[in-house]
Amino acid sequence: MSNSRWEEAALNGDHEAFRKLVDEFRPLVYRTTARFASDPSDCDDLTQEVFIEIWNSKNRFRGDSALSTWIYRITVNKALNYIRRQKRGVFLSLLTAGQKGADPPTSADTTANRLLQSEGARLIQGALSKLPDNQRIAFVLTQAEGLSQRQTAEVMALSESAVESLIQRAKANLRKRLKHYYSI
């Protein structure tokens, strides 16, 4: 069965084809969520949530873009929801525990930090978590996932020039935040 055939079958509700889709796209989804999630078990849950969302909204895929673009979009949305839930959780824990409450997750806690081997990579990951969501997404998709600006623009529903601007700003912000850690 060719790629488009089983993808179509999966989106038409064929369980066997959907299983193939899950196997095929799990690495893509996991890698992307790992750049955002703060815990490896959350990362696994997020990946599952993405595929559940794909199944539940399979009728909404119109085929205007590549399937991978649509999956990236769902993954990024889930990741953003996750970050917002995390922020709310930290805020609530601070409210209930007062100033002595649990520390918010730091850059050192992120999944990617545990999965990334080098110190430099961890520094970038930590600084990335402080960037605005749009800049972070554009940077991760282009620099880590290797998507073109055009593909990233499709995923983020923005123009290519807007994506280019987001990447430039992300890089400028990273340079500013990490100025003590690299040589010019």
H-only helix segments in 35-159: 40-56, 67-97, 111-115, 119-128, 133-139, 149-156
Q: Is 182 in the site for another protein (CB under 8 A)?
A: yes
Spatial separation of the C-alpha atoms in residues 50 and 21, rounded to whole Å: 12
Q: Which amino acid is at 48?
A: Q
* Tokens standing for residue 67: 């399937």
Q: Are 160 and 168 in contact (CB under 8 A)?
A: no
Q: Is 130 in the site for another protein (CB under 8 A)?
A: no
* Tokens standing for residue 129: 């978590």
Q: Is 61 in the site for another protein (CB under 8 A)?
A: no
Per-residue x/- track, 158-177, another protein (CB under 8 A): ----------------xx--
Query: In the set 26, 58, 73, 169, which binds another protein (CB under 8 A)?
Result: 26
Spatial separation of the C-alpha atoms in residues 68 and 65, rounded to whole Å: 8
Q: Is 34 in the site for another protein (CB under 8 A)?
A: yes
Minimum separation from the CB atom of position 34 to another protein (A): 5
Number of residues that bind another protein (CB under 8 A): 40
Q: Is 73 in the site for another protein (CB under 8 A)?
A: no
* Tokens standing for residue 47: 């990946």
Task: Count CB neighbours of 74 within 10 A.
Answer: 19
Query: In the set 6, 51, 70, 72, which binds another protein (CB under 8 A)?
Result: 51
Q: Is 136 in the site for another protein (CB under 8 A)?
A: no
Query: Collapsing DSSP states into helix, strand and coil, what is residue 157?
Result: coil
Q: Is 52 in the site for another protein (CB under 8 A)?
A: yes
**Residue numbers at the binding site for another protein (CB under 8 A):** 15, 19, 22-23, 26-27, 30-31, 34-35, 44, 47-48, 51-52, 55-56, 107, 112, 115-121, 123-126, 143-144, 174-175, 178, 180-184
